[in-house]
Amino acid sequence: MAARLGPSRGGGAGRDPQPIATVQPQDQTASCDAADSGNLSEQHKGSRTCRRAFAMNRRQWKPARHSEKRTRPVSKRSARHPAPLSRNPLLVIDGDSFAHRSYHALPKTILRRGRKPAGAILGFANMLLRFYRDEQPRAVLVAWDTLDVPTYRHEKFPAYQSGREFDDALLEQLDVLPEFVAACGFQNAKAPGFEADDFLATAAAAEEKRGGTVLIASGDRDTFQLASDHTTILYPLRAGEMARISPAEVRTRYGVEPAQVPDFIALRGDPSDKVPGAPGVGATGAATLLQRYGCLEAALEAGRFSAMAERLRLFRSLATMNRKAPLPSLRSQKPTWYKQPHSLESGS
């Protein structure tokens, strides 16, 4: 076992609370507004497991034939009026979340060339291709944690995500997977000091700003804070089934709005991240407080939790996703399996 900083993105984050009846919050707008002020190596490219994943998925569906009409040069006038935004969504994937799920779901006896472990790679490859087939996104971005560098969250709260250990076999595959994503023709997002969640939030904000729609695939319920009229969360359940989390679904599950999710986590706590929350509050109590006051800051100004106000503000900052993470280009993409179908199956 090897210890690394960073989140364990597996599927065992705990069960959802029972739906909570909602009530109209008091008008605390002012307080709440103030509070919210390289390509795959030949060794991996030729591995039997990756080739098998491509081959199985390519048998299930075929790329549409594209017309070969000759295009005209872009005139100065058309350059001033760019083509309409694609109706297809941007797909943003929490890479660590699905790599962990794949690693723990598949047998450890699945090996690639050199007798190296490949279960996480194979499971992740099948998941990625299935997402692409089902959702037909205009582009794919896979976000990753940097496990060996602390983030600003660890610096603010040393107990954050402490005590986690990952198998060496998983860590080795986590190092390979970004190369696999790039070999598919998709983009990766990874940078020291940021978590995968921060790239999800930044990409969603950027795509919404340009008028597009977003699908965020993650097994982390913290991402529910990103649900909106233009962003849907694809949350894995069991046997490959995905729940589509909208703002209405967040309200049904937790009794709060998506924007209140960081406040909810601060009050309830998050055992998986070692965030304790407010003593004795729990999920129902947190939802009730937010329905009454609107946000954590308004509850604190009303005199609630005066002895630990700054600590709860810290917990809220830990749960809030950073929308200023560095992003690669999010231009529309064409997967490499459209361009090189034969080489993907043969491993050449």
Bridge partners (DSSP) listed for residue 91: 140, 215
Domains of the chain, with CATH numbers? Answer: 24-35+86-327 (3.40.50.1010)
Distance in angstroms (rounded) separating the CA atoms of residues 241 and 57: 17
Binning pLDDT at 50, 70 and 90, where does residue 30 land?
Answer: low
Distance of CA 197 to the CA centre of its chain: 5
Q: What is the pTM of this model?
A: 0.77
Per residue in 10-23, pLDDT tens? 443 344 444 444 44
Count the residues in the chain: 348
The pLDDT of residue 72: 44
Which residue is associated with the tokens 């949350």? 235
Per residue in 302-318, pLDDT tens? 999 999 999 999 999 99
Please compute the mean of the pLDDT values over residues 261-275 and round it to a whole number.
95
Three-state secondary structure along the chain? CEECCCCCCCCCCCCCCCCCCCCCCCCCHHHHHHHCCCCCCHHHHCCHHHHHHHHHHHHHCCCCCCCCCCCCCCCHHHHHCCCCCCCCCEEEEEHHHHHHHHHHHCCCCCEEHHHEECHHHHHHHHHHHHHHHHHCCCEEEEECCCCCCCCHHHHHCCCCCCCCEECHHHHHHHHHHHHHHHHCCCEEECCCCCCHHHHHHHHHHHHHHCCCCEEEECCCHHHHHHCCCCEEEEEECCCCCEEEECHHHHHHHHCCCHHHHHHHHHHHCEHHHCECCCCCCHHHHHHHHHHHHCCHHHHHHCCCCHHHHHHHHHHHHHHCCCCCCCCCCCCCCCCHHHHCHHHHHHCC
Distance of CA 330 to the CA centre of its chain: 16
Which pair of tokens denotes residue 339?
Answer: 């361009």
Q: Are 307 and 158 in contact (CB under 8 A)?
A: no
Bridge partners (DSSP) listed for residue 242: 236
Q: What angle do CA 336, 97, 257 make, to 5 degrees?
A: 110
The pLDDT of residue 148: 86
Which pair of tokens denotes residue 153?
Answer: 């969250």
The pLDDT of residue 43: 39
Q: Among 72-86, 172-186, 249-263, where is mean pLDDT lowest? A: 72-86
Which pair of tokens denotes residue 146?
Answer: 């940097």
Contacts of 30 (CB under 8 A, 6+ apart): none
Per residue in 79-104, pLDDT tens? 454 445 678 999 999 999 999 999 99
